[in-house]
Amino acid sequence: MMKKATVNKNMTYTIDLTKIDGDGAFPCPKCGVMISPEDETEEVYQIVETRVKNDELAELTLMCNKCGSKIKLVGFLSQPEN
Ligand SMILES: [Zn+2]
């Protein structure tokens, strides 16, 4: 059962993980709730889509359970630093 199912327009935000320090946690761009990749309870967010390139996670789309925003995470793939 969904408690809050009345979300009209879902914005999609993009978070670049290469610009995040620490353990990869970031605040939801809309409501500010902390979203941690370590959190697997699905209480704060749920994963709606994963995209894999060359057997590596390339993109992850989450939905914030608090405000319903979709958040696309990019930057999983390690970039060459030369
Ligand atoms: Zn949110």
pLDDT of 36 reads 92
pTM for this entry: 0.77
CA–centroid distance, 22 to ligand 1, in Å, is: 20
pLDDT of 77 reads 74
Domain ranges of the chain: 1-35+50-82
Give the pLDDT band of residue 15 (cuts 50, 70, 90).
Answer: very high
pLDDT of 81 reads 57
CA–centroid distance, 19 to ligand 1, in Å, is: 19
Give the pLDDT band of residue 78 (cuts 50, 70, 90).
Answer: low
CA–centroid distance, 75 to ligand 1, in Å, is: 20
CA–centroid distance, 64 to ligand 1, in Å, is: 5
Q: Compute the average pLDDT of residues 53-77.
A: 92
Query: In which residue are the tokens 């500010």 written?
Result: 32
CA–centroid distance, 81 to ligand 1, in Å, is: 33
Instruction: Identify the burial level of 74 via C-beta atoms within 10 angstroms of its C-beta, where 0-12 means exposed, 13-18 middle and 19 or more buried.
Output: middle
